[in-house]
Structure 1
Amino acid sequence: MAMPNDKPPEPLPGARLLFTLDPSYVHLNHGSFGAAPIPTQRAAARLREEQEADPMRFLKPPGIMERLRHTRRHLARFVGADPDGTALVPNVTAACAVVLGSVPLRSGDEILLTDHAYGAVGIEAARRCAETGATVVEAKVGLEDDDDAVVAAILAATTDRTRVAVIDQISSATAKLFPVRRLAAELHRRGVFVAVDAAHVPGMIDVDVSTLGVDAWFGNLHKWAYAPRGAGLLYVAAAHRASIRPLAASWEYDNGFPASVEFQGTQDFAGWLAAPAGLHTMTALGLDVVRDHNARLARYGQRLITEALGTPAVRAAPELAMRVVRLPPGVATTAEAASALRNRIAEQLRTHVAVTAWRRIGLLRICAQVYNGADDFEGLARALPTLLRAR
C-alpha cells in the first residue's frame, strides 16, 4: 500500500470509458449507490431480455435456483464465505432485517449498536425492539479511536442482557474501519450474537469472511464490486442457518436457508445473475491495481480538501477508498443542514459528495473510484472554501 504522503496515482488507462456517468458532474460519492460499468449493464440487459422472452422458463424452479446457486458460489468465494451459508439479497438493509428478525428477543433484552451505525440499521433495530420489548443500546466510539479504544467502548456498553450486536466493518457516514474479528471474539465470550454490516466491504478491501468468526455478515455488491444495484450477500454461520426467517415465506421456504431467503417469484433475478460480470471487470483491470488506485486517490483528496478548509485531519485506515473531512465549526451540524449543503455542492459546484451531521460535527465524505482523477479532488478543494464562506 502506498504511503500517505505519496502523490496521487496515475489514471488507469481507459477506466473512465467503462462508465456511463454524466460528464457534467464530478462523481465523488460512489459509496452511496455505486456505478455499474458498461459490461455489467450489458450483462443485466441481456438477462432481462432472456427473461422477457420466456418468463416461465426463466423464473420457474428448479432452473432459476440452479442459476442462483452457481452465481452464489462465484460471489461467495470472492468474499471468502461458505456458498452453502450465503444468500443473495437486495441489499444489507434487507439482510439486517432478516438477521434481526431471526434472533429470539424478549422484553428486557438489548440490541447493541454503535453511534456509527447506518441509519436504516438503527430504524430496523428500533422496529424489532417495538415488536419484542427489547431495547437499543448505543456504544459511543470516537471518530479516531484506535482498535483498543473501539473494543473497550463497545464492551463497556455490553451487559448481561445484550443478545445481539450489529457492528460496522466500514462505517458509512464516518468511513471508519472496525476491528470486527477482535470484537466478535470478545462479544462471543459474553454470549452475544454478532452481526456485521459490511455494506462497503466487497470490492473495496480484501475480506475472508470465513476467518472473522461472526454469526452473520452482510455486504453490498453494487457499491464497490461493480454489480447492478440491488445485489448483496448475507452470510450466516452454520449454527444459525436453521433458524433464519426470510422476510416473506415463498415456494422455497421449506428448503431452508439460503434458498428460502433468495426466492420470490417476481424478483428481478437479472441483477443478481449479472453481478459476476462486475467482478470480471475488476479482475480485468487488476483487483490490486483498482484497490491501490482508489485508496491512494481518496487519501490524496482527503488531504487536499482538509488543507483547503483548514480543519483537523481525520485519520483513516490506509486501504480505504472512502474518507471523511471535517467541515468548519458550525457547518452542517444538523441533518437538515447537511442535506442542504450536499445539494448546494451538487448544484453550484456540479460535484456529488455525501455530507453528514455526526455528533453535531459536519463531515464531508468523499470516495475515489477508477473513473476519478486527481483533478476531480483539486477542483473541489479550490471551490469549496468559497462556497462555505458564502453560506
Structure 2
Amino acid sequence: MSGRLIEGVHVGWDNIRQCFSLDPAVSHLNHGAYGAVPIAVQRAQQRFRAEMESNPMRFFRSDLTERIAHTRRHLATFLGADPEGAALVPNATSGAAIVLRSLGLRPGDEVLTTDHGYGAVGLAVQRECRLTGATTRTLAVPLQATDEEIVGIVRAGLRPGRTRLLVVDQLTSPTARLFPATAIVAAAREHGVPVLVDAAHAPGMLATPVDAVGADFWVGNLHKWAYTPRGTALLVVAPAWRERIEPLVVSWLQEQGFPPRVEWQATQDYTGWLAAPTGLHVLRTLGPERVREHNAALVAYGQRVVAEALGLAPADLPQPGGPGVSMRLVPLPTGVATTTDAAVALHRLISDRLAAEVAVVGWQGRGWLRLCGQVYNYADEYDRLADGLPGVLAAAH
C-alpha cells in the first residue's frame, strides 16, 4: 500500500476517500465552502484537545504562545511569507476586518473593491466606512475580462490621495476567477495605494508564494484547500504596516506588538492551530502539485458534463483564468437563482433531491452553479449531478 501513516491513518492515493469522514451517500462537490478535514488531522486536534482538557491551567499557562508561533512559522514558510510579518487569524474575513480597523479611515477616505469580492468582506468594508465616515466604491469587472483588462479597470478606478485601500481577490469566491493579483498590486503601488489581497482560496490550491504578490496585506484560509482544521488562516503584513495592526479585541499580549497581539485571544480554542501542520503534512504526503493537477482536471470535467446536460456550449462557460484552479462556474437558466434567497432555496433542493452539495450563487442578476474538485471526488459524482439537475431546475422554475 502506497502512502504514509499519519496520526494512525494511512494517507495515500489508493485509499483517498477513506482518509476523510465524509458521508459516502453524498456527493461533496463544494469543497471551497468549508473544506473537509482529513481524519489524520481530526485526530491530531483531538489529541491537543485531550491535553487541554486534562489540565487547562498547564495548557494555557505553559508554552502555548510559543507553540502557536511554531505553527505560524510552519504555515508562513509553506506560503512563502515572512513568519515575523504574519499572524494566525480565524479566517480571511477576520483578517480583512483587522486591516480595515487598523487603517484609521477618516471622512473623505475611500475603500475600493470589485464586484467579484466576497460578501462578508464587503459587509466589513461597509461597516468600517459607516463608522469612520469614509466611503466605499465598487468596480465592475466583466466575468470574461482578460488579465490586462482587469488591471486596466483597476488602474483607471484608483483615486490617488483619496483611495486609502484597494481590496482585491486573488481567486474570487462567487465567480471562481483567478485575478492577476501581482500585476494589480504593482499598478496600485505606482499610485501609492495600499492593497489588501483576499486570498481565501489560495493556500493549497495555488502554488504562487505570498511574497511574489507583494501586497501590503494578504490573508488566506488554510482550512479550505490545505487540509487544516477550520478556523485557520494567515494574515501577512508588509513591514511598514506591522506596528499599526491592531486586534479586534484587546487581550493580554497587546503590548508585545504584532503578531502576538493579534493571535492571542485569551481562552479561545487554539487546538485547530496546533494541528494545522498535520494538514500540510497530509498535503505534502499526497503531493501538492499532483493534488492541484488532479483537482483542476476533475472540476473541468464536472463543468463540461453539467453544462452539456443544461444544453450549454463550451463557449458559454466561464474560464477560471489560470491553471490549477479547482473551482468552475456553470451558468444556470435565465431567471433561476438570481437572488440570494432563490440561490439558497435551489441549493437545498439539489441537496435534498440529488444528495449533492454544490454552491449556488446569484451574481450580477444571474444564477450560477459553482463546482469544486477535490481528491475525494470521482467523475461519476458529476455525472449523477448532470443527470438529475435538469429535473430539479424544472421543479424549481
TM-score by length of 2: 0.94
Question: Quick one: which amino acid aligns to residue 26 of structure 1?
Answer: S
Question: Quick one: which amino acid aligns to residue 168 of structure 2?
Answer: I
Q: Residue in 2 aligned with 1:313?
A: 317
TM-superposed deviation, 1:387: 1.4
Q: Residue in 1 aligned with 2:5?
A: none
Q: Distance in 2 between matches of 1:354 and 1:378?
A: 17
- What aligned pairs does 1:157-172 form with structure 2 within 5 A after superposition? 157-160=157-160, 161-172=162-173
* Count of residue pairs the alignment pairs up: 380
Q: Which residue of 360, 366, 369 corresponds with 1:361?
A: 366
- What aligned pairs does 1:275-286 form with structure 2 within 5 A after superposition? 275-286=276-287
Q: Distance in 1 between matches of 2:391 and 2:149?
A: 37
Q: Residue in 2 aligned with 1:210?
A: 211
Q: Residue in 2 aligned with 1:59?
A: 60
TM-superposed deviation, 1:12: 3.6
- What aligned pairs does 1:189-338 form with structure 2 within 5 A after superposition? 189-311=190-312, 312-316=316-320, 317-338=322-343
TM-superposed deviation, 1:318: 2.6
Higher relative contact order (CA 8 A, sep 6+): 1
The gaps in structure 1 that reach 5 residues or longer are: 1-10
Question: Quick one: which amino acid aligns to residue 350 of structure 2?
Answer: I
Q: Give yes or no for contact 1:72–1:87 (8 Å, CA) kept in 2.
A: yes
Question: Quick one: which amino acid aligns to residue 219 of structure 1?
Answer: G
Q: Give yes or no for contact 2:109–2:135 (8 Å, CA) kept in 1.
A: yes
- What aligned pairs does 1:171-182 form with structure 2 within 5 A after superposition? 171-182=172-183
Q: Residue in 2 aligned with 1:143?
A: 143
Q: Distance in 2 between matches of 1:58 and 1:166?
A: 38
TM-superposed deviation, 1:207: 2.3
Q: CA RMSD in A?
A: 1.1
For 1:64-91, what per-residue CA distance to the aligned partner results, in whole angstroms no more than 9, with x for missing partners? 1111111111110111000000101100
Query: Are 2:94 and 1:88 aligned?
Result: no
What SS does the corresponding residue of 1:14 show, helix, strand or coil?
A: helix
Q: Distance in 1 between matches of 2:263 and 2:319?
A: 39
Q: Which residue of 344, 348, 351 corresponds with 2:353?
A: 348
TM-superposed deviation, 1:378: 0.8
For 1:292-312, what per-residue CA distance to the aligned partner results, in whole angstroms no more than 9, with x for missing partners? 110110111111111211231
Q: Give yes or no for contact 2:164–2:193 (8 Å, CA) kept in 1.
A: yes
TM-superposed deviation, 1:127: 0.5
- What aligned pairs does 1:369-380 form with structure 2 within 5 A after superposition? 369-380=374-385
Q: Distance in 2 between matches of 1:138 and 1:197?
A: 15
For 1:233-270, what per-residue CA distance to the aligned partner results, in whole angstroms no more than 9, with x for missing partners? 00000110000011111111111010000001201110
Question: Quick one: which amino acid aligns to residue 346 of structure 1?
Answer: S
Q: Percent of counterpart pairs with the same letter?
A: 52
For 1:113-159, what per-residue CA distance to the aligned partner results, in whole angstroms no more than 9, with x for missing partners? 10011011010000100111111100101111110111111222221
For 1:92-115, what per-residue CA distance to the aligned partner results, in whole angstroms no more than 9, with x for missing partners? 111001001111211111101100
Query: Are 2:98 and 1:98 aligned?
Result: yes
Q: Give yes or no for contact 2:331–2:369 (8 Å, CA) kept in 1.
A: yes
Q: Residue in 1 aligned with 2:108?
A: 108
The gaps in structure 2 that reach 5 residues or longer are: 1-11
Q: Give yes or no for contact 2:177–2:319 (8 Å, CA) kept in 1.
A: no
Deviating beyond 3 angstroms after TM superposition, the runs of 4 or more aligned structure 1 residues are: none
Q: Distance in 1 between matches of 2:239 and 2:159?
A: 26
What SS does the corresponding residue of 1:365 show, helix, strand or coil?
A: strand
Query: Are 2:129 and 1:129 aligned?
Result: yes
Q: Residue in 1 aligned with 2:9?
A: none
Q: Distance in 1 between matches of 2:351 and 2:155?
A: 40
TM-superposed deviation, 1:390: 2.5
TM-superposed deviation, 1:331: 1.1
Q: Give yes or no for contact 1:140–1:154 (8 Å, CA) kept in 2.
A: no
Question: Quick one: which amino acid aligns to residue 367 of structure 1?
Answer: C
Q: Distance in 2 between matches of 1:130 and 1:389?
A: 42
Q: Give yes or no for contact 2:317–2:329 (8 Å, CA) kept in 1.
A: no
Question: Quick one: which amino acid aligns to residue 170 of structure 2?
Answer: Q
Q: Distance in 1 between matches of 2:175 and 2:185?
A: 21
TM-superposed deviation, 1:323: 1.1
For 1:200-247, what per-residue CA distance to the aligned partner results, in whole angstroms no more than 9, with x for missing partners? 010111121112111000000111110111111000001100000111
TM-superposed deviation, 1:53: 0.9
Q: Distance in 2 between matches of 1:194 and 1:361?
A: 29
What SS does the corresponding residue of 1:274 show, helix, strand or coil?
A: helix
Q: Give yes or no for contact 1:81–1:209 (8 Å, CA) kept in 2.
A: yes
TM-superposed deviation, 1:291: 1.0
What SS does the corresponding residue of 1:173 show, helix, strand or coil?
A: coil
Question: Quick one: which amino acid aligns to residue 190 of structure 2?
Answer: R
